[in-house]
Structure 1
Amino acid sequence: MPELSTALRVPAAQYLRMSTEHQRYSLENQRAAISEYAEMRGFAVVRTYADAGKSGLSLKGRDGLQRLLADVVTGQGGFSAILVLDVSRWGRFQDTDQAAHYEFICRDAGVNVHYCGEPFDNDGSMVASIVKNLKRVMAAEYSRELSTKIYRAQIQQARVGFKQGGPVPYGIRRFLISEDGTPKLLLAPGDRKGLKSDRVVFVHGPDEELKIIRRIFRMFLTQKRSIANIVKALNDERIPSTDGDLWRWGRVKGILRSELMIGYYVFNRTSHKMKKPVRHNPPDQWVRTKVTEPIVGLKTFARVQRELRLKRVYGLNRADMIRKLQRLFRKKKKLSQDIINECAYTPSAHAYWIHFGSLVAAYKAVGFICPPTGERHRYFSDEALLDGIRRVHATFGYVTIALLNKDPDLPDGKAFKKRFGSIVKAYGLAGFPTTKSETVSAARQRAAARR
Structure 2
Amino acid sequence: MRRKAAVHVPKALLTGAKPTAAVYVRMSTDNQNHSVSHQLHCISDYAERHGIDIIRTYADEGRSGLDFSSRPGLRCLIEDVQSGVAPFQSILAYDISRWGRFQDLDESAYYEYICRRAGVAIVYCAEDFENNGSSISSIIKSVKRAMAAEYSRELSSKVFAAQCRFVEMGFKQGGRAGFGLRRIPISASGKAKPALGFGERKSHPTDRVLLVPGPSDELEILRGVYDWYVLEKLSESEIAFLLNAMEAPRECGRAWTRDCVRDVLTNEKYIGNIIYNRASFKLRKRHIENPTSMWIQRIGVFPPLIPVTLFRKAQQERKRRLAPIPKEELLAMLRKLYEKHGKVTTTLIDQDDTLPGAQMFAYYFGTMLEAYTLAGLPPTNICKFIATRAVVGNVRAATHEQIKALIIGAGVGLEKGPSRNTFLLNGETLLKIAIARCLYEKTALPRWRVRMDEESRCDFVLAVLLDLQNQKADSYYLFPKADFLKVQITLTEANMSTLSQYKHASLEAMFGAGHKTTR
- Which TM-score tier does this pair reach, normalised by the shorter chain? 0.7 to 0.9
Distance change in 2, residues 1:198/1:250 (3 Å): same
Partner of 1:265: 274
CA distance in 1, matches of 2:293, 2:114: 45
CA distance in 1, matches of 2:135, 2:283: 31
Asked if residue 284 in structure 1 is aligned to residue 293 in structure 2, the reply is yes
CA distance in 2, matches of 1:180, 1:362: 64
CA distance in 2, matches of 1:110, 1:364: 61
Identify the range of structure 1 (143-152 vs 289-298) with the bigger mean alpha-carbon deviation: 289-298
1:56–1:90 contact (8 Å) kept in structure 2:
yes
Asked if residue 228 in structure 1 is aligned to residue 237 in structure 2, the reply is yes
The amino acid of 2:224's aligned partner reads R
Distance change in 2, residues 1:84/1:312 (3 Å): closer
Partner of 1:431: 450
1:81–1:112 contact (8 Å) kept in structure 2:
yes
Distance change in 2, residues 1:362/1:167 (3 Å): farther
Structure 1: gaps spanning 5 or more residues: 329-343, 369-380, 386-400, 406-411, 415-421
2:101–2:152 contact (8 Å) kept in structure 1:
yes
Partner of 1:145: 154
Asked if residue 310 in structure 1 is aligned to residue 335 in structure 2, the reply is no
1:9–1:43 contact (8 Å) kept in structure 2:
yes
CA distance in 1, matches of 2:345, 2:305: 35
Partner of 1:158: 167
1:434 to partner: Cα distance? 3.2
1:238 corresponds, among 247, 263, 283, to 247
2:311 corresponds, among 283, 301, 316, to 301
The amino acid of 2:309's aligned partner reads K
Partner of 2:401: none
Partner of 1:28: 37
Identify the range of structure 1 (296-305 vs 357-366) with the bigger mean alpha-carbon deviation: 357-366
Partner of 2:483: 444
2:278–2:292 contact (8 Å) kept in structure 1:
yes
Partner of 1:392: none
CA distance in 2, matches of 1:90, 1:229: 50
2:221 corresponds, among 198, 212, 225, to 212
Partner of 1:108: 117
- TM-score, structure 2 normalization: 0.66
Partner of 1:197: 206
1:130 corresponds, among 95, 116, 139, to 139
Partner of 1:340: none
Residue 195 of structure 2 aligns to a residue in which SS? strand
Residue 59 of structure 1 aligns to a residue in which SS? coil
The amino acid of 1:33's aligned partner reads C
Partner of 2:196: 187
Q: Looking at both structures, which has the greater relative contact order when contacts are Cα pairs under 8 Å and sequence separation is at least 6?
A: 1
Residue 250 of structure 1 aligns to a residue in which SS? helix
Report how many aligned residue pairs link the two structures: 385
Identify the range of structure 1 (193-202 vs 231-240) with the bigger mean alpha-carbon deviation: 231-240
2:421–2:433 contact (8 Å) kept in structure 1:
yes
The amino acid of 2:450's aligned partner reads G
Asked if residue 357 in structure 1 is aligned to residue 363 in structure 2, the reply is yes
Higher normalized helix content (fraction of residues) = 1
Partner of 1:377: none
Residue 184 of structure 2 aligns to a residue in which SS? strand
Distance change in 2, residues 1:325/1:166 (3 Å): farther
The amino acid of 1:125's aligned partner reads S
Counterparts of 1:168-183 in structure 2 under 5 Å? 168-183=177-192
Partner of 1:94: 103
1:84–1:116 contact (8 Å) kept in structure 2:
yes
CA distance in 1, matches of 2:19, 2:365: 59
- What is the CA deviation profile of residues 50-84 of structure 1, one whole-angstrom value per residue up to 9, with x for unaligned ones? 11111110101211111111111111211111111
Partner of 1:48: 57
The amino acid of 1:87's aligned partner reads I
Higher normalized strand content (fraction of residues) = 2
- What is the CA deviation profile of residues 107-131 of structure 1, one whole-angstrom value per residue up to 9, with x for unaligned ones? 1111111111100000111111111
Residue 193 of structure 2 aligns to a residue in which SS? strand
CA distance in 2, matches of 1:44, 1:7: 13
CA distance in 2, matches of 1:48, 1:363: 60
The amino acid of 1:194's aligned partner reads S
Identify the range of structure 1 (315-324 vs 68-77) with the bigger mean alpha-carbon deviation: 315-324
Partner of 1:77: 86
CA distance in 1, matches of 2:174, 2:344: 43
CA distance in 1, matches of 2:267, 2:44: 53
1:352–1:359 contact (8 Å) kept in structure 2:
no
Residue 187 of structure 1 aligns to a residue in which SS? coil
The amino acid of 1:197's aligned partner reads T
CA distance in 2, matches of 1:174, 1:154: 17
CA distance in 2, matches of 1:359, 1:218: 33
Asked if residue 39 in structure 1 is aligned to residue 45 in structure 2, the reply is no
Partner of 1:254: 263
Distance change in 2, residues 1:312/1:38 (3 Å): closer
Distance change in 2, residues 1:358/1:90 (3 Å): farther
1:13–1:48 contact (8 Å) kept in structure 2:
yes
Residue 140 of structure 1 aligns to a residue in which SS? helix
1:313–1:351 contact (8 Å) kept in structure 2:
no
2:346–2:358 contact (8 Å) kept in structure 1:
no
CA distance in 1, matches of 2:449, 2:245: 41
1:353–1:359 contact (8 Å) kept in structure 2:
no
Larger Rg: 2
- What is the CA deviation profile of residues 163-220 of structure 1, one whole-angstrom value per residue up to 9, with x for unaligned ones? 1112232111111221122111111111111101111100101112112211211221
Residue 266 of structure 1 aligns to a residue in which SS? strand
Distance change in 2, residues 1:24/1:213 (3 Å): closer
1:247 to partner: Cα distance? 2.2
Distance change in 2, residues 1:163/1:73 (3 Å): same
Residue 28 of structure 1 aligns to a residue in which SS? helix
